[in-house]
A and B are shown apart, each in its own frame.
Chain A
Amino acid sequence: MPNAIYIALIPLLPLAGFLLLGLFGRRIFKNNSGVIGTLLMMCATIISLYVAYGYFFEYGKVNGVYQKLIPFKYAWLVFSKDLSIDMGITLDPISVMMLVVVTFISLMVHVFSLAYMKGEERFSTFYAFLSLFTFSMLGLVISSNIFQIYIFWELVGVSSFLLIGYYYDRPSAVAASKKAFIVTRFADLGFLIGILVLSFYSGTLDFNELISRLTAPGSDQLKAAVTSSFMGISAITWGTFLIFIGGAGKSAMFPLHVWLPDAMEGPTPVSALIHAATMVVAGVYLVARLFPVFAMAAPDSLQIVAYVGAVSALLAAVIACTQTDIKRVLAYSTMSQIGYMMFALGVAKYGGENGLGYTASMFHLFTHAMFKALLFLCAGAVIHFVHSNEMADMGGLRKKLPVTHIAFLIACLSIAGIPPFSGFFSKEEILLAAWQQNRTIYWIGLITSGMTAFYMFRLYFSIFWNRDFNDHHSAHNHHGEGGGLITIPLIILAIGSIVSGFIPFGNFVSSDGSRLATGFHASFSIMPVSIGVIGILIAGWLYKKQSDKPDKISSSLNGLYKTAYHKFYIDEIYLFITKKILFNLVGRPAAWFDRNVVDGLVNFTGNTTQVISEKIKGIQSGKVQQYAIYFLIGAIGLAALIIYW
């Protein structure tokens, strides 16, 4: 059994950082705040790597099956003998994996921000918030009690709210932070009711107890939960579905994803940490945590998870093709990749070979954290250089930012699923799992995969190729790539994006804890890889050479007509297909639906409240006689209602 004290240090160190920097940062530490936060984070990272090593290779395995260990548990609020809210630490393959992901990515972001956020007025506040977020996220992943996870879940929401609104003098950032908070709170309401339903039927809030009671065939609790129904659907399906709503809100699943693109108003390192690698996968983690209940007792909810994931993956990919703000493209691609993780869980079953989707989902979560954090940090470096988020202001940056260029290329190849980069391995597993269980979802996943390759390389070529970089933006400010603090995290993450794919993930993470053999299926991979390559080629063809045209015209005037004609012709087709068909028929309606129906519903609720309250304000007139009359009407009305009803 591991020692609880040093495991507890993993979340407590960032908490100490938050308190230290929050209370004294602005007055005492000032510009040293970043270094302090980073050092604490580094300690937490080292400890979590040590814990991961110990868990996976020393004490975690008993008879070939990874155990769920609870090294620490404190009954914090005892309602009755069975029902209590505990504060505890759970070690199992997914929580240990998440500890490593969260601390590692957070460390990278801490280091990157030392240079990126330098000179900001509220530098120490930024690090305080960053530490608070890391603490909440770590607390979330090690929770041993469903209520504990809810508390940290809300804390994560609060710290995300603070970080999105970090540039509080920008109205758009303030609006975005509020939107994110309200949309996710709305989803959290589902989560809370789901917790109440599940705990009511299982009679416990403890994860282990809850899972074992609700999955044991023939147990009293399971029988009660399956037989009692509300609106024709069993209580257990309701409970798991409501919990999934909470997860879908945090993970920006359709139709609760509206906050994620707006959340890009936050500082870019924050987007890398929260809106790419850690917080947004909390929903996936939540479903994975309760996976046995989903898989064994509520298959209907799992179906919903699968289809919501698949629809989100496709929809986000379509929208990503039409965006021009580079962070927004990345935001939609995040949503799309999380959709992958969700439907991978959705098609999985509990135990053995059928649990492949579970392993694949967690594997993709792991690799995605690496390459998506890398993409965002690269985007940060690019934005830092050109002072703009728009693709139109970029192009030809490969010579100006060589390290960023290579790192971005590696990440793009990885997300596009090209071997031997990490995204290839995890995506293959997901598609294989979908192929085995649900062909519809497999095809959606395959199409999405091709589109992913296309839009990521559209982004890559537009930023780094396309045309020569027009220097007028930074004519006064030739700061280059920004030194080691910017490039070192990029290099480390790029290495991570390459090697993390070679981890034999099935050995460590599987739905039932025992080893799951995952192999490389060459014949199966041909299709996804070639679709990815086609996507890349189309993107390169369209975006790489656009600004090369003038050069070619001048050098080879003779061959102009033929080449230009063909290019022109193809360009027209492309324009027709993308602008007329894809944009108008698919992209626009998708964006319209997104803006008017989904956003509209959210706004509608707010507006209606305003209008009603305007209408009824006349009652509050200030005249006492009227008050007395309302009083009397109320009293008599109440009496009549109760007596004659």
Chain B
Amino acid sequence: MSEFFILMKSELVITFIIFLLLFIKIGKGMKNELLLQWIQILLLANCFVGFIDNRDGVLFDGMFHTSGLIAFEKNILSLGTYLISLLCVDWLKKTPHLPEFFILMLSALLGMFLMISSGSLLIFFLSLELSTIPVAALANFDLDKKISSEAAMKMILSSAFSSGVLLFGISLVYGATGTIGFASLPSHLDGGTLQILAFTFLFTAFAFKLSVVPFHLWTADVYEGAPIAVTSFLSVISKGSIAFIFISTLYKPFQALHPAWNNMLVIVAICTMIIGNLFAIRQQNIKRFLAFSSIAQVGFILVGMTANNISGNSSVVYFVLVYTFSNLAAFGVAAVISENAGKENIDDYKGLYQTNPFLSWIMAIALFSLAGIPPTAGFFGKLFLLTAGASAGNYWFIIIAALNMIISLYYYLRVIRAMFMDKNDEPIVRVKNNPMVSFALIICAVGILLVGLLSWIYEYIQSLA
């Protein structure tokens, strides 16, 4: 019995916090600012719980399993959620339904935890839905904005469609193999046509959630319409969790279909990097810009996945960690500017350095990391992904990926140039820094700089994988 509590500790803590918030909502309620502080403390505590007594184990006849690596992945997600609660303080304070916001967000997080730990396609499907539907509701949280409702509608419709395809795929898998348990799948897979068809439908669901081209079209509209807190949750936490489960599903239960999924990955990765980059170049809205650039980033994650070995797995986990820091820092700065100055266009960022040097530097560090320029962690993240991908021996593929890194440099530099070099007669006014936000931004910046330089982090991930 005690093992049950230890293995499921992350899920239980999240559930506990959700119930706590429900009771607060039913009761008298609290002032937003006080409540927010408590939530932040609870989320921080959740981060620490993730480090206590991690062990490998299986529960419920293999429906749920956990290991050191899975615990580490959950920690990344918890940390990201905590950082979002700090970064979006200004916006969250004004939200009329704060408890609901976190109830929904944590429900989604709970879904992701269960998804990463799932040991069967059934649990996987249920937890995937749990991690999606609350986020669609969250996207609607700018209650007085039409664009926010539109984002929510688009997301729920697209997700429903994707879920339909996924469910069809799962039923075909069951039809072809007679099982949906991850442990028993490998012995039933032989690479038959029906199995590949079924697997393709499964693949599209992952691709949809990761915004892989051509399943990415919902991304830009949803990212732009949703509040920044939700956008960053979607683009970092949600994508990270999908990347984790995607790679472990490919490497373990569907290992037998390696030739098929390897080709699929190569095709969609090339499309994703190129299309993501081409669209990112055109964007004027900073949120859309980050959305498309994050599509391109996912393309690189797919490159790492093609490795099909331990270094593939560890490089993906490492990259998600780095990407969490970098993207949250970029979104954090965008959130501060949007909330205090009401400006979201890249042109508005011209001359930002004159008025807000701190925010400009954080943004610059984050963008350098996303562009993969040493010595930021982003460089090492990309490097490990590419070397892992290269170990599979497809050099043309790696060259295409590397060329895309150069293209991405162009548009990331464009924002940096706007902030530091372009002149503006009416730059964004000096923004008063909230200490919470500054603290979170500094954590991100330190993370970006240190995760790359402290080599033991990668070595630790490698030892877990």
Contact flags A586-619 to B (C-beta < 8 A → 1, else 0): 0000000000000000000010011011101101
Known: A610-B281, A612-B278, A628-B158. A635 touches B420 (CB 8 A): no
The answer on a CB contact under 8 Å between B455 and A78 is: yes
Pick the residue among A151, A168, A193 that contacts B402 (CB under 8 A).
Answer: A193
The answer on a CB contact under 8 Å between B220 and A620 is: yes
The answer on a CB contact under 8 Å between A169 and B455 is: no
- Complex CA–CA separation, A154 to B403 (angstroms): 17
Closest to B221 in A: A622
Which one of B277, B278, B405 has the highest number of Cβ atoms from chain A below 10 Å of its Cβ? B278
> Which of B15-23, B24-32, B33-41, B197-205 lies at the binding interface?
B197-205
Closest to A631 in B: B215
In the complex, whether B373 has a CB less than 8 A from a CB of chain A is yes
- Complex CA–CA separation, A230 to B421 (angstroms): 43
Contact flags B198-214 to A (C-beta < 8 A → 1, else 0): 00110110011000001
When distances are taken between beta carbons in the complex, the residues of chain B under 8 Å from A85 are: 455
The answer on a CB contact under 8 Å between B201 and A635 is: yes
The answer on a CB contact under 8 Å between A616 and B403 is: no
When distances are taken between beta carbons in the complex, the residues of chain B under 8 Å from A638 are: 200, 203-204, 264, 267-268
Q: Which of B250-279 contact A (CB under 8 A)?
A: 260, 263-264, 267-268, 275, 277-279
When distances are taken between beta carbons in the complex, the residues of chain A under 8 Å from B455 are: 76-78, 85
When distances are taken between beta carbons in the complex, the residues of chain B under 8 Å from A614 are: 282
Interface magnitude class on chain B: 35 or more
Closest to B395 in A: A230
The answer on a CB contact under 8 Å between A643 and B158 is: no
When distances are taken between beta carbons in the complex, the residues of chain A under 8 Å from B12 are: none
Chief secondary structure at chain A's binding surface? helix
The answer on a CB contact under 8 Å between A182 and B217 is: no
When distances are taken between beta carbons in the complex, the residues of chain B under 8 Å from A158 are: 373
Nearest CB of chain B from residue A6's CB, rounded to whole Å: 24
In the complex, whether A181 has a CB less than 8 A from a CB of chain B is yes
Interface size on A, residues (CB 8 A): 50
When distances are taken between beta carbons in the complex, the residues of chain A under 8 Å from B220 are: 620
Pick the residue among A151, A634, A639 that contacts B197 (CB under 8 A).
Answer: A639
Nearest CB of chain B from residue A237's CB, rounded to whole Å: 16
Pick the residue among B161, B395, B405, B406 that contacts A628 (CB under 8 A).
Answer: B161
The answer on a CB contact under 8 Å between A616 and B375 is: no
The answer on a CB contact under 8 Å between A624 and B158 is: yes
Nearest CB of chain A from residue B460's CB, rounded to whole Å: 12
Nearest CB of chain A from residue B392's CB, rounded to whole Å: 13
Pick the residue among A155, A616, A624 that contacts B374 (CB under 8 A).
Answer: A155
The answer on a CB contact under 8 Å between A181 and B154 is: no
- Complex CA–CA separation, A85 to B153 (angstroms): 49
- Complex CA–CA separation, A641 to B214 (angstroms): 14
Nearest CB of chain A from residue B283's CB, rounded to whole Å: 10
Chief secondary structure at chain B's binding surface? helix
The answer on a CB contact under 8 Å between B390 and A182 is: no
The answer on a CB contact under 8 Å between A609 and B407 is: yes
In the complex, whether A57 has a CB less than 8 A from a CB of chain B is no
The answer on a CB contact under 8 Å between B373 and A627 is: no
In the complex, whether B218 has a CB less than 8 A from a CB of chain A is yes
Pick the residue among B260, B405, B458 that contacts A77 (CB under 8 A).
Answer: B458
The answer on a CB contact under 8 Å between A617 and B282 is: yes
In the complex, whether A174 has a CB less than 8 A from a CB of chain B is yes
Known: A168-B420, A185-B409. A627 touches B218 (CB 8 A): yes
When distances are taken between beta carbons in the complex, the residues of chain B under 8 Å from A36 are: none
Q: Which of B152-172 contact A (CB under 8 A)?
A: 153-154, 157-158, 161-162, 165
Closest to B288 in A: A620
In the complex, whether B423 has a CB less than 8 A from a CB of chain A is yes
Nearest CB of chain A from residue B56's CB, rounded to whole Å: 25
When distances are taken between beta carbons in the complex, the residues of chain B under 8 Å from A613 are: 278-279, 281-282
In the complex, whether A561 has a CB less than 8 A from a CB of chain B is no
Pick the residue among B208, B279, B417 that contacts A631 (CB under 8 A).
Answer: B208
The answer on a CB contact under 8 Å between A635 and B221 is: no
In the complex, whether B126 has a CB less than 8 A from a CB of chain A is no
Nearest CB of chain A from residue B217's CB, rounded to whole Å: 4
Nearest CB of chain A from residue B447's CB, rounded to whole Å: 17
Nearest CB of chain A from residue B393's CB, rounded to whole Å: 10
The answer on a CB contact under 8 Å between B260 and A642 is: yes
Nearest CB of chain A from residue B371's CB, rounded to whole Å: 10
Of all A-B residue pairs in the complex, the 3 with the closest CB atoms, nearest first, are: A613-B278, A77-B455, A634-B214
A contacts, CB < 8 Å to B:
76-78, 85, 150-151, 154-155, 158, 165, 168-169, 174, 178, 181-182, 185-186, 189, 192-193, 196, 230, 606, 609-610, 612-614, 616-617, 619-620, 622, 624, 626-628, 630-635, 638-639, 641-643, 645
Question: 18 more A-B contacts (CB under 8 A) besides A151-B374, A619-B217?
Answer: A174-B421, A182-B409, A189-B402, A193-B399, A230-B395, A609-B278, A609-B407, A613-B282, A624-B218, A626-B217, A627-B217, A631-B215, A635-B204, A635-B215, A638-B200, A638-B203, A639-B201, A643-B193
